[in-house]
Amino acid sequence: MKKTLMVAALTGVFATAAHAQSSVTLYGLIDAGITYSSAQNGHAAYQATSGTINGSRFGLRGAEDLGGGLKAIFTLENGFNIDNGNLGQKSRLFGRQAFVGLASNQYGAVTLGRQYDSVVDYLAPLSNTGSQYGGTIAAHPFDNDNLNNSVRFNNTVKYSSVNYAGFKFGGTYSFSNSTEFANNRAYSFGASYNYAGLNVAAGYLQINNNINNPQFNASSFSGAEAGDYTFAAGRQRTFGGGVNYTFGPATAGLVYTQTQLNQAVGISTTQAGIAGVNFHGNSARFQNIEGNVHYALTPALSLAGAYTYTRSNFGGGVNPNFHTVALQSDYALSKRTDVYLQGDWQHVSSNTGGVTAFLNGLSNASGRQDQVAVTVGMRHRF
């Protein structure tokens, strides 16, 4: 009897120990607000909005210790609209991220699934749109450099290094899952370095698209980019670099990116507003220069701002210049809940060829050279 009780007790201890080596975390963020915009298709609008700064999401993140500094990891992350409960990312169940892999304390991690590219991983955090201080609506025009991760990539193998005294690097390869190996595939690589208050990062992304495939706009398409594409083009190459420096309660930064398109057809209606935007030659280009700053007035109250100049060439003499400004004040009610006031303005100049201002995340382009949006919102993290 005593032996039986002892075995039962030991079994319980070992089961508890084994359970302690594995973990699953439910997490999420909800961003809801009211937005006034000066012009959408030529008319002012008041709207309830979801994800004006950070996309609303919830997810599961887990890890299992395999011993020897090795563990199995996974993430399943859903995007949704808090105003109507609809799924985001073309109604995918786990449209933001879905991957599984192995992580080593010594060698880094290899993961497989639907994931972010290296420009998003390394360079975006230095920008205003890739942070909590500007976010979705502060994206560079049409999110042309994907710093706001409008596009996630299917069929992706990713490597992420460990932190080597402040230096990190990684890369991705996204399969086309087609006998036409090079059509609708993508690859990227990037790196960052942190020392004291200095942060430096760079990244490169290339996407090869099969723009003649009628399934290209369907989320069920088997390729690397499916349904949530930004550009209809045979090839997209995006690269850039940035630097941030933190001194006391302030951080200032500068980011440069360039996107070059070949066999360029146009911009998806999702990015360009209902009317869509077309290119007029075989190639197109965007160059973005962003300056940003954020300052913590108190532990609870922060101010942030950014200005981006975007020079573009759509071909056929159409080369609009975009000026985008984002200003934000944020007050933390607790560690997990904050309220914010954000104002954004975009102006289009030069030879616009009918291209009008369009702040990312709004329903429609302005129909004019200028568009202003003011949002009062609340975020909660769990």
Percent of the chain with pLDDT strictly greater than 70: 91
Average pLDDT over residues 120-147: 97
Cα–Cα distance list, 28 to 59, 77, 146 (Å): 6, 9, 22
**Who's near 306: CB < 8 A, 6+ residues apart?**
127, 128, 133, 134, 138, 290, 291, 292, 293, 324, 325, 326
Sign of CA dihedral 7, 10, 15, 18: negative
In contact, 225 and 151? CB cutoff 8 Å: yes
Tell me the pLDDT of the chain averaged across its residues: 91
Q: What is the model's pTM?
A: 0.90
Q: Which stretch of 95-99, 180-184, 191-195, 325-329 has the lowest confidence by average pLDDT?
A: 180-184
> Residue 366, SS3?
coil
Q: Is the pLDDT of residue 271 over 60?
A: yes
Confidence tier at 276 by pLDDT (50, 70, 90): low
Q: What is the pLDDT of residues 304-346, one digit of tens each?
A: 999 999 999 999 899 999 999 999 999 999 999 999 999 999 9
Range among 15-19, 35-39, 217-221 rated most confident: 35-39
For residue 146, the number of C-alpha atoms closer than 13 Å in the C-beta half-sphere is 29
Residue 258 has pLDDT above 80, yes or no: yes
Distance CA 325, CA 128 (A): 10
Asked whether the predicted pLDDT for residue 11 surpasses 80, the reply is no
Q: What is the pLDDT of residues 200-230, one digit of tens each?
A: 999 999 999 866 665 566 777 788 887 788 8
Given this model, what pLDDT does residue 379 score? Answer: 98
- Which one-letter amino acid corresponds to residue 110? V
Residues 262, 247: Cα–Cα separation, whole Å: 41
Model pLDDT, residue 10: 42
Contact predicate 376/30, CB 8 Å: no
Is residue 180 within 8 A of residue 197, CB to CB? The reply is: no
- Quick one: fold of 34-381? Porin (2.40.160)
